[in-house]
A and B are shown apart, each in its own frame.
Chain A
Amino acid sequence: MIYVGGLIFGLGLAVSGMAKPEIVLDFLQFEDFGLLFVMGGAAVVSGVAFAVATRYLDRAPLTAREYARRVKEFDRNVVLGGAVFGVGWGLSGICPGAAYASFGVGNYPILWAIAGMFLGAYAQGYVRPTSTDDTTTADATTR
């Protein structure tokens, strides 16, 4: 099911054009605001799934996991990381999910970006101590 979900996810990224850095850059340069619909539409659908599952459903059928919302602790790294990510996104027009999808549409130059992402993730993992953990607060009862 994870594969199927990923497949639909990737299909959506391809249909929406997110897999094409040019379209993302057009958005960031205020030439095409379509991306708002991608993020908005996606967040609404997942928001409904989150709301229904945490309220009315008990546990996930395949894993018996409890349903929880995605709530992460806030700290200054959230803003700092967001800023660094933003500069990277604005420079390249690519974010992780869209990069994998871009590879799927045959865009081999994207391997530069994927290599860059792994290098970046490696660099921060190498530098940061393990103790600065980012834990997901899984609180199924939060409304």
Chain B
Amino acid sequence: MEPFTPLLALGDPFPRGVVPYLIGGLLVGLGASVVYLSTGIIAGASTFLESTLSYVSNVDRFNRFKYRQSRGWRLVFTAGIVSGAALWAFVLAPDPGIWTTRVEWWRLLGGGFLVGVGTRLGKGCTSGHGVCGVGSLSNTSLVNVATFMTFAIGTAQIVQALGVSP
């Protein structure tokens, strides 16, 4: 499952090279910038969860004005993310085709649940805090990123140490 040709093999710390990561990161930032510069909207991926829930749930929290007001563009943004990834996977990638994970379903479900709770409690996720918040030099975001990085690394190391793979 090595989809990338390591154009710049730097040895151990970067077994897949750094070029795809760097290009990908610049594109992620560019995507957020395109949204921001054209509309003034600060893109984040996780509020989509709550704003979309407002379509189907009567819980007050999901029906707050800012969610109802933004749920339309959030659907569009998320559709963009899905199709952008599909564009790479099926058209532009050196080895086009479907890709599926081997991570166990219970890890995805349980981890997803915690991600759902955590991003909403913590006011953002990797894109909201990590890209836009850090890009804004927001202290709140820097603290949040440092926290989730620490806990994520700890968790991943423990899971690995317990012999769960993948």
Q: Contact: A32 with B13, CB < 8 Å?
A: yes
- Interface extent on B, as a size class? 35 or more
| Secondary structure of the B contact surface, majority rule | helix
Query: For chains A and B in complex, what number of residue pairs have CB atoms within 8 angstroms?
Result: 548
Q: Contact: B135 with A71, CB < 8 Å?
A: no
Q: Contact: A17 with B135, CB < 8 Å?
A: no
Complex CA gap A39/B145 in Å reads 11
Q: List residues of A (101-117) whose CB comes within 8 Å of B's CBs.
A: 101-110, 112-117
Complex CA gap A89/B36 in Å reads 26
Q: Contact: B80 with A96, CB < 8 Å?
A: no
Partner of A121, one of B31, B82, B116, B132: B116
Partner of A21, one of B20, B77, B101: B101
Q: Contact: B156 with A126, CB < 8 Å?
A: no
User: Given that A28-B156, A104-B81, A112-B105 are known contacts, is A85 also in contact with B23, CB under 8 Å in the complex?
Assistant: no
Q: Contact: B89 with A104, CB < 8 Å?
A: yes
| Secondary structure of the A contact surface, majority rule | helix
The total of chain A residues at the interface (CB under 8 A) is: 119
A-B contact pairs, 13 of them (CB 8 A): A5-B36, A16-B25, A28-B152, A65-B40, A70-B141, A79-B122, A85-B148, A86-B154, A105-B98, A117-B113, A118-B53, A121-B119, A133-B64
**Chain B interfacial positions (CB closer than 8 Å to A):** 1, 3-4, 13-18, 20-43, 45-46, 48-50, 52-53, 57, 59-62, 64, 73, 76-90, 92-93, 97-103, 105, 107-141, 143-160, 166
